[in-house]
Amino acid sequence: MTDKVKIEKSDAEWRSLLSPELYRIARERGTERPWSHLYNSEKRDGTYYCAACSAPLFTADAKYDSGSGWPSFFRPLDGAVGETIDRSHGMVRVEAHCASCGAHLGHIFPDGPNPTGQRYCMNGTSLQFEPGT
């Protein structure tokens, strides 16, 4: 596994392609307010794609209600989500990003449910949900 992303664009290109809120989160590692995104309560079957590059990231059957206020998943699709160590804000956390374009998605915490024990705590803004199976 290499950390090199497949889709590379300049900062100016991303800025022109993404909404200001998505740019802030995906490219500047921002965070949306908890309980602010409608995907937090989304329960339909379907697939969650990267909002920046449309790569599939999660299926709805890996989503669960973590009570955190952010859409949460216990498992991404194979190879879809990359991880880096994030030492910002005086904490050591695992940062999650789209393996295809590098867009920041959220963080991964080791307090998720079975079978993985992982909580992929995602910004709904970084995701694009398509209902269906």
Q: Taken in order 86, 91, 92, 94, is the CA torsion positive or negative?
A: negative
CB-CB contact of 35 with 69 (8 Å) = yes
- Catalytic residue positions, numbered: 121
How many chain residues bind Zn ion (CB under 5 A)? 8
Bridge partners of residue 97, in order along the sequence? 82, 104
Residue number with CB closer to Zn ion (72 or 100): 100
What's the rounded Cα separation, in Å, for the pair 85 and 69?
A: 23
Strand order across the beta sheet in which 93-98 lies: 63-64, 72-73, 119-122, 104-109, 93-98, 81-86
CB of 50 to Zn ion, least distance (A): 3
* Of residues 28-57, those binding Zn ion (CB under 5 A): 50, 52-53, 55
Does 127 bind Zn ion (CB under 5 A)? Our answer is no
Give the residue, chosen from 96, 101, 108, 121, that forms a contact with Zn ion under the rule CB under 5 A.
101
Does 103 bind Zn ion (CB under 5 A)? Our answer is yes
The site for Zn ion (CB under 5 A) is made up of 50, 52-53, 55, 98, 100-101, 103
